[in-house]
Amino acid sequence: MAIPTSNRTNDEHATKKPYVRLATAEDFPQLVTMGARAFVRDPVLLYVGNVQQLQGEVLQPKEERVLQAFISVSLRSTASRGGRIIVVAVPSSVSSVYEIDGSEKIASCTCWLPPNKRVKKHQFLKLANDGAVPLLTAWGVRGTTRMGDQYLDKVHHILAKSFKSRGFEKKDVDTKAWYLLLAMTDPDFQGRGYLPMLMRDQFAHAPGQNYILETTTEKAKNQYTHFGFEVQETFYVGKGKVGMDGLPASEEAATGAKAYPMVKVGVEWYYSGSEVR
């Protein structure tokens, strides 16, 4: 994996304040555990994993292992494709919630895939190298179809159509945009402005670029809107099977889980080939 073993500076440690850095290989176990906590109520992942019910904020042990496998594959896929895994690290002197070996807690994380490095469902060897086989086996044909055909393919279609409306080719959605594969914040650290810190770091790393993502909650959609992203179109997965929360429902409550594909246009983009956005 193309990730550093360490990139912390003396200045960062001296401040004793939350700071942004690239993830290291040593961070992965903590990120997997934190990600499972952050995504425990994600509607689409609940639907894909065929979760029948939640007890508070807790999954069944088997279901939690599947969610952890999803986080792990996302991290490894980002690293193997030369993406950026960015974290907010909170020194133990700041955090009263957790201490990790007396050093720091990873409070938030984003995983960005650069242009032309998207994860494709037909890339069997790459996915296997990223550790996806146990995850796909756990999801089974039903869950894999839900994630691929019903969700990701629909997201790709909407975003490709958005690119075409701006004078690009549909394939440019893969080749001319950064993709936010994963964004997560530990529930105990939410509301502290850590996601904006991560977004600003990425935008500074690749200024004026095109960015795409999809999200599955109204709260997250509103957050990304503040960062300049625009919803292109909404759709539902699992209609007739699950409610907005991704858990089994019936009749009028079985609306399906809602998804929001979003785009942040770069300064070089042209709308319909002429008007600068």
- Taking only the tens place, the pLDDT of each residue in 19-32 is 999 999 999 999 99
Asked if residue 95 belongs to a domain, the reply is yes
Please give the residue range of the domain that contains residue 105. Answer: 14-276
Asked if residue 200 belongs to a domain, the reply is yes
Asked if residue 208 belongs to a domain, the reply is yes
* Token pair belonging to 61: 């042990």
**Location of structure tokens 């069944």:** 60
Percent of the chain with pLDDT over 70: 87
CA proximity to 254, closest of 240, 268, 266, 264 = 240
CA proximity to 112, closest of 74, 147, 148 = 74
**What distance in Å separates the CA atoms of residue 271 and residue 265, rounded to the nearest whole number?**
10
Number of domains in the chain: 1
Which positions ≥6 away from 158 have C-beta within 8 Å?
232, 233, 235, 261
> Please, which pLDDT band fits residue 98 given cuts at 50, 70 and 90?
very low
40-54, 109-123, 152-166, range with the lowest pLDDT: 109-123
Asked if residue 4 belongs to a domain, the reply is no
* Token pair belonging to 107: 């409070």
Query: What's the mean pLDDT in 190-207?
Result: 96
Asked if residue 5 belongs to a domain, the reply is no
Residue 188 per-residue DSSP state? G
Strand 275-276 and strand 235-237: the pairing is unpaired
> Please, which pLDDT band fits residue 95 given cuts at 50, 70 and 90?
low
Bridge partners (DSSP) of residue 63 are none
Asked if residue 6 belongs to a domain, the reply is no
Name the more confident of 24 and 99.
24
pTM here is 0.88
Asked if residue 232 belongs to a domain, the reply is yes
Bridge partners (DSSP) of residue 105 are 90
Angle, alpha carbons 165-167-168 (nearest 5°): 100
Asked if residue 9 belongs to a domain, the reply is no
* CATH value at residue 52: 3.40.630.30
R_g (Cα) of the chain, nearest Å: 19
**Location of structure tokens 């690239």:** 22
